[in-house]
């Protein structure tokens, strides 16, 4: 393109931005005045609500008319409120668009058309003044997909009922700030390399940002996938899995806006910190956040406080510390209880329970056993064996409720009822009196009246006392799932079929499990199994309203947990995102994870190999010590080599770490993380340097983090990123086995711009497996402190 042509284009584009911003401003003005009127309307309706309805409840006809009038008024009010809400949301979007109306353009010549049409793409659609033509297309509109999928040349896109093909004759990107064009360039093969460079070169933020203007083609495949029931994404660290997942939520909410709401989408996130880290992305895209929680929070909710539940992080600390006398057996248990083989054992056990072995509780009323557990058991085992256990229990519940009805009648005549009636409030008497009056049940005979009052009082007292019991029966509380479950480990009444291959330490595992269950303590590996068992007996309250389930860091979920998830969310489509290299839980070392090739479920898999977060030298360093690391591709972004400082004394390491932090601060980095392997290690360094620097220790209870310096265990830093990362102790002692390698990789890949490692003694063998050109190695040995 000649300079003159370029200049002409620039002028035209500049003018267009101004025109679109003007149109948006006009729309904002109109909507503001509508919002204002609606708001006034709502206030008026609320204030005059009772004046505008005709209230008359004396006659039946009037009563009906009054009800209709109230209903009409209420509907009128809620319709206004709804419109007010919708317009306010649209105003929010327009205000954002006024700053930056669009970020891209493609000129598309449809097959059999004579000329190309420019398509401008932004956060949301904007129509022209006459509502006839699109000034801006929503990035999620079918036609916009070509922007992400194709370079200039032949291109096509799917509409709801056909595929449209043609040619992209121009592809352009814009940098627009405060409603003014600041830059633009035409792109070739991969979109956004210029823009991506500049976006990725920015500082890390404590809140994740949307990637809407620079979505990459392979990420777009994830975002717009509509076919897969189970979509698995294996993506290397920093490849944009989480970013793509959130864009996908926004896409689905747009694509299915008539039928899908944000409450019907659930995201399981790796830790509470991550929840707040990603919370702003969807609102930034003009959408509401989906339901977001950790799997721990979800399981905890299922148990309704009846157990103390170990967190996954406590399990991880146990594993890493290697100190407990039962360490080996527990580690075996972590593996075994993660597996589908264990689920099979539980399924066998459940089959047996349909014939014998289910444990019940006595039904007691006023400290007396009114239906003994043996009787309930007998009744249960007489119900039809072809029915499921929950259905049979439902029958038992109905039978018990019937027995309680008979009991109720007998109890009414007992002395305790009268005694209790003496303790009643005056209000109760008045109420009984009024009820009888309303029912016209008083006679002339006062003696009889007194009897009637007493009869009604007795009825009420017994019913009131029985109410909690009835509720418990309805909730099937007469079953004792825990005691039943414990039989699995006590070998009482049942032994595991010989066909099941159990771990060699099974007896010891049983011993530990039984002791924990007795204390009502569920380890992280026991929780899914117990919940699965309990729900199989009492019935799964399947969450059928949830249409989409997103699982981030999916490699950390066991096959058993996934099986449970499928039972809990039977109709949901699933998007599972993870990285096999960041598998940091014990089970993942030996067993299948959701991402391993052995995974049997029908699914579609997308692999992301390009890493966007870290600079090229950091990616090259980290990929060097990972199996299949050669599949990881760095994004071309220059930076400093990682540094390793090897020292032989903790004090020197501390001094050097402080120096390093100060240097990073001087370079302008705002988020700096000191990452340790365990919480113990983090606490130690925190204690040692907290008097010298403003620093925050992050634990599993931390739900939010701000700018500055944080000390954080690697497993809590999952999914998050920092400008600069300092590995507090990268010694071989600390990072040696395969799981520690994955933790080390996870920790190092949190860095966007700078990475430095400190080793007290021999550096980790993983660092040594990188070539010397990939990092700078310094050593300080035998410096005498304080002239000792
Ligand atoms: N297409 C993109 N445009 C701009 N930035 C991107 C893009 N894809 C990823 N990024 C950036 O790369 C970084 C890593 O993204 P994200 O956290 O989504 O990756 P991830 O695969 O979930 O990482 P991890 O598994 O390491 O937690 C973020 O800063 C994100 O904004």
* Domains located in the chain, CATH noted: 1-207 (no CATH), 363-479 (no CATH), 616-780 (3.40.50.300)
Partners of 312 in beta bridges = none
- Residue 270 CB less than 6 A away from ligand 1: no
Report pLDDT digits (tens) over 115-132: 999 999 999 999 999 889
Centre of ligand 1 from the C-alpha of residue 725, in Å: 17
Residue 165, helix vs strand vs coil: strand
- Residue 195 CB less than 6 A away from ligand 1: no
Range scoring the smallest mean pLDDT among 65-74, 88-97, 105-114, 699-708: 65-74
- d(CA 731, CA 749) in angstroms, rounded, equals 17
pLDDT of residue 788: 44
pTM for this entry: 0.88
Nearest CA among 23, 14, 11 for reference residue 181: 14
- d(CA 33, CA 46) in angstroms, rounded, equals 20
DSSP 8-state class, residue 784: P
Centre of ligand 1 from the C-alpha of residue 722, in Å: 12
Residue 216 CA: nearest ligand 1 atom is 1
- d(CA 58, CA 220) in angstroms, rounded, equals 65
Partners of 371 in beta bridges = 363
- Residue 763 CB less than 6 A away from ligand 1: no
Handedness of CA 756, 762, 764, 770 (dihedral sign): positive
What percentage of the chain carries pLDDT values higher than 90? 62
Kind of pairing between the strands at 230-235 and 573-578: parallel
Pocket residue to mutate for ligand 1, from 612, 720, 745, most atoms within 8 A of Cβ: 612
- d(CA 299, CA 302) in angstroms, rounded, equals 5
Pocket residue to mutate for ligand 1, from 149, 200, 238, 747, most atoms within 8 A of Cβ: 238
Report pLDDT digits (tens) over 419-462: 777 777 777 777 777 777 776 665 555 556 677 777 778 888 88
- Biggest CA–CA distance in the chain, Å, is 111
- pLDDT of 77 above 90: no
Range scoring the smallest mean pLDDT among 326-340, 430-444, 464-478, 743-757: 430-444
Q: How many CB atoms lie within 10 A of CB 572?
A: 23
pLDDT band at 483 (very low <50, low <70, confident <90, very high): very high
Handedness of CA 187, 190, 192, 196 (dihedral sign): negative
Between these two residues, 462 and 788, which has the higher pLDDT value?
Answer: 462
**Residues 557, 593 contacting (CB under 8 angstroms):** yes
Average confidence (pLDDT) over 393-420: 88
Handedness of CA 36, 38, 39, 40 (dihedral sign): positive
> Is 235 flagged in the annotation as binding?
yes
Cα radius of gyration rounded to whole Å, the chain:
33
pLDDT band at 1 (very low <50, low <70, confident <90, very high): low
What percentage of the chain carries pLDDT values higher than 70? 91
- d(CA 752, CA 748) in angstroms, rounded, equals 10
Residue 379, helix vs strand vs coil: helix
Pocket residue to mutate for ligand 1, from 222, 241, 243, most atoms within 8 A of Cβ: 243
* Ligand 1 atom 5, closest CA: 211
Between these two residues, 502 and 714, which has the higher pLDDT value?
Answer: 714
Centre of ligand 1 from the C-alpha of residue 597, in Å: 24
Pocket residue to mutate for ligand 1, from 104, 213, 240, most atoms within 8 A of Cβ: 240
- d(CA 270, CA 290) in angstroms, rounded, equals 15
- pLDDT of 102 above 50: yes
Range ranked top by mean pLDDT from 137-141, 276-280, 411-415, 508-512? 137-141
> Is 241 flagged in the annotation as binding?
yes
E strand or H helix that includes residue 171: strand 163-177
* Ligand 1 atom 10, closest CA: 240
Q: Phi and psi for 634 in degrees, rounded to 5?
A: -80, 150
Centre of ligand 1 from the C-alpha of residue 613, in Å: 6
- Residue 265 CB less than 6 A away from ligand 1: no
DSSP per-residue letters across 190-259: STTHHHHHHHHTSPP-SS----GGG--HHHHHHHT--S-SEEEEEE-TTSSHHHHHHHHHHHHHHHTTTT
Alpha helical stretches, state H, 539-692: 559-568, 587-590, 616-623, 650-666, 679-689
* Ligand 1 atom 4, closest CA: 211
Range ranked top by mean pLDDT from 425-429, 500-504, 742-746? 742-746
Question: What does the mean pLDDT of the chain come to?
Answer: 88
> Is 122 flagged in the annotation as binding?
no
* Ligand 1 atom 25, closest CA: 237
- Residue 312 CB less than 6 A away from ligand 1: no
- d(CA 126, CA 24) in angstroms, rounded, equals 8
- d(CA 291, CA 384) in angstroms, rounded, equals 40
Centre of ligand 1 from the C-alpha of residue 603, in Å: 23
pLDDT of residue 188: 67
- Residue 241 CB less than 6 A away from ligand 1: yes
DSSP per-residue letters across 626-670: STTGGG-EE-S---PPPEEEEES-HHHHHHHHHHHHHHHHHTT--
Handedness of CA 728, 734, 736, 740 (dihedral sign): negative
* Ligand 1 atom 12, closest CA: 613
* Ligand 1 atom 18, closest CA: 240
- Residue 238 CB less than 6 A away from ligand 1: yes
| Residue 433 burial (10 A CB sphere; 0-12, 13-18, 19+) | middle
Residue 215 CA: nearest ligand 1 atom is 1
Q: Which residues lie below 8 Å from residue 482, measured CB to CB, with a gap of 6+?
A: 517, 520, 530
**Residues 143, 108 contacting (CB under 8 angstroms):** yes
* Ligand 1 atom 29, closest CA: 613
- Residue 556 CB less than 6 A away from ligand 1: no
**Residues 20, 28 contacting (CB under 8 angstroms):** no
E strand or H helix that includes residue 299: helix 295-303
Nearest CA among 322, 414, 403, 401 for reference residue 366: 414
Q: Phi and psi for 269 in degrees, rounded to 5?
A: -110, 160
- Residue 214 CB less than 6 A away from ligand 1: yes
Partners of 120 in beta bridges = 105
**Burial annotation 658-690 (CB, 10 A radius, 16+ → b, else e):** eebbeebeeeebbbbbbbbbbbebbebbbeebe
Residue 582 CA: nearest ligand 1 atom is 25
- d(CA 661, CA 415) in angstroms, rounded, equals 78
pLDDT of residue 589: 67
**Residues 663, 697 contacting (CB under 8 angstroms):** no
| Residue 737 burial (10 A CB sphere; 0-12, 13-18, 19+) | exposed
pLDDT band at 391 (very low <50, low <70, confident <90, very high): very high
Report pLDDT digits (tens) over 638-697: 999 999 999 988 889 999 999 999 999 999 999 999 999 999 999 999 999 999 999 999
Report pLDDT digits (tens) over 220-235: 999 999 999 999 999 9
- d(CA 470, CA 467) in angstroms, rounded, equals 5
Residue 746 CA: nearest ligand 1 atom is 26
pLDDT band at 191 (very low <50, low <70, confident <90, very high): very low
> Is 240 flagged in the annotation as binding?
yes
* Ligand 1 atom 1, closest CA: 215
- Residue 245 CB less than 6 A away from ligand 1: no
- d(CA 514, CA 246) in angstroms, rounded, equals 42
- Residue 559 CB less than 6 A away from ligand 1: no
- Residue 199 CB less than 6 A away from ligand 1: yes
- Residue 242 CB less than 6 A away from ligand 1: yes
Nearest CA among 365, 347, 357 for reference residue 381: 357
- Residue 80 CB less than 6 A away from ligand 1: no
Both tokens assigned to 311:
């967190």
Handedness of CA 486, 487, 492, 498 (dihedral sign): negative
Residue 213 CA: nearest ligand 1 atom is 3
- Residue 612 CB less than 6 A away from ligand 1: yes
Nearest CA among 211, 520, 37, 248 for reference residue 202: 211
Pocket residue to mutate for ligand 1, from 212, 245, 581, 613, most atoms within 8 A of Cβ: 613
**Residues 623, 632 contacting (CB under 8 angstroms):** yes
Q: Phi and psi for 498 in degrees, rounded to 5?
A: -60, -25
Centre of ligand 1 from the C-alpha of residue 181, in Å: 27
């Amino acid at each position: 393109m000649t300079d003159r042509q370029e200049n002409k284009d620039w002028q035209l584009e500049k003018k267009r931005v101004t025109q679109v911003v003007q149109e948006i401003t006009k729309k904002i003005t109109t909507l503001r005045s509508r919002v204002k009127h609606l708001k006034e309307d709502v206030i008026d309706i609320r204030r005059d609500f009772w004046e505008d309805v005709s209230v008359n409840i004396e006659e039946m006809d009037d009563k009906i008319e009054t009800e209709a009038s109230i209903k009409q008024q209420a509907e009128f009010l809620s319709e206004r409120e709804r419109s007010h809400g919708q317009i306010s949301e649209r105003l929010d979007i327009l205000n954002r668009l006024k700053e930056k109306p669009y970020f891209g353009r493609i000129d598309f010549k449809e097959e059999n058309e004579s000329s190309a049409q420019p398509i401008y793409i932004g956060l949301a659609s904007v129509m022209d003044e006459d509502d006839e033509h699109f000034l801006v297309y929503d990035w999620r509109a079918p036609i916009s997909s070509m922007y992400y999928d194709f370079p200039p040349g032949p291109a096509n896109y799917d509409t709801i009922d056909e595929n449209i093909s043609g040619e992209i004759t121009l592809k352009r990107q814009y940098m627009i700030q405060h409603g003014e064009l600041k830059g633009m360039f035409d792109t070739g093969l991969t979109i956004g390399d210029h823009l991506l460079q500049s976006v990725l070169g920015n500082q890390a933020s404590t809140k994740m940002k949307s990637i809407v203007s620079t979505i990459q083609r392979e990420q777009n495949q994830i975002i717009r996938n509509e076919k897969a029931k189970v979509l698995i994404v294996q993506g290397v660290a920093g490849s944009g899995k989480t970013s793509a997942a959130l864009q996908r939520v926004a896409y689905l909410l747009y694509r299915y806006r008539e039928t899908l709401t944000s409450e019907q989408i659930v995201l399981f996130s790796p830790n509470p910190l991550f929840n707040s880290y990603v919370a702003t992305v969807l609102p930034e895209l003009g959408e509401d956040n989906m339901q977001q929680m950790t799997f721990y929070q979800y399981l905890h909710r299922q148990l309704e406080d009846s157990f103390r539940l170990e967190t996954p992080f406590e399990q991880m600390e146990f594993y890493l510390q290697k100190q407990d006398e039962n360490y080996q057996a527990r580690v075996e248990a972590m593996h075994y209880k993660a597996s589908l083989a264990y689920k099979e054992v539980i399924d066998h056990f459940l089959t047996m329970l349909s014939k014998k072995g289910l444990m019940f509780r006595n039904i007691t009323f006023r400290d007396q056993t009114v239906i003994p557990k043996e009787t309930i058991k007998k009744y249960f085992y007489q119900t039809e064996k072809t029915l499921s256990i929950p259905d049979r229990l439902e029958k038992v519940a109905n039978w018990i409720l019937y027995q309680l009805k008979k009991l109720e009648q007998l109890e009414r005549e007992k002395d305790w009822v009268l005694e209790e009636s003496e303790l009643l409030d005056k209000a109760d008497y008045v109420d009984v009196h009024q009820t009888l009056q309303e029912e016209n049940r008083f006679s002339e005979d006062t003696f009889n009246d007194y009897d009637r009052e007493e009869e009604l009082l007795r009825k009420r007292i017994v019913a009131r006392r029985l109410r909690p019991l009835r509720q418990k029966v309805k909730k099937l509380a007469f079953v004792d799932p825990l005691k039943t479950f414990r039989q699995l480990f006590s070998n009482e009444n049942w032994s595991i079929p010989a066909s099941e291959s159990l771990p060699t330490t099974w007896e010891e595992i049983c011993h530990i499990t039984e002791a924990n269950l007795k204390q009502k303590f569920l380890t992280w590996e026991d929780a899914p199994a117990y919940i699965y068992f309990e729900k199989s007996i009492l019935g799964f309250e399947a969450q059928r309203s949830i249409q989409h389930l997103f699982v981030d860091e999916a490699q950390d979920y066991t096959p058993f947990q996934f099986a449970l998830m499928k039972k809990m969310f039977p109709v949901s489509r699933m998007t599972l995102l993870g990285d096999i290299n960041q598998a940091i839980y014990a089970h993942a070392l030996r067993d299948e994870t959701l991402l391993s090739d052995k995974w049997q479920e029908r699914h579609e898999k997308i692999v992301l190999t390009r890493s966007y977060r870290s600079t090229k030298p950091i990616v090259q360093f980290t990929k060097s010590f990972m199996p299949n690391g050669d599949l990881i591709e760095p994004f071309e972004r220059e930076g400093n080599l990682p540094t390793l400082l090897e020292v032989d004394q903790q004090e020197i390491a501390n001094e050097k770490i402080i120096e390093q932090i100060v240097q990073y601060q001087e370079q302008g980095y705002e988020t700096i993380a000191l990452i340790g392997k365990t919480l113990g290690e983090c606490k130690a360094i925190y204690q040692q340097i907290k008097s010298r620097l403003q620093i925050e220790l992050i634990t599993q209870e931390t739900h939010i983090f701000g700018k500055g310096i944080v000390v954080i265990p690697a497993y809590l830093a999952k999914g998050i990123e920092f400008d600069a990362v300092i590995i507090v102790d990268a010694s071989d002692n600390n990072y040696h086995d395969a799981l520690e390698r994955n933790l080390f990789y996870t920790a190092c890949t949190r860095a966007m711009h700078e990475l430095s490692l400190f080793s007290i003694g021999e550096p980790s063998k993983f660092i040594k497996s990188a070539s010397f050109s990939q990092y700078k190695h310094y050593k300080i040995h035998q410096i005498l402190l304080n002239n000792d």
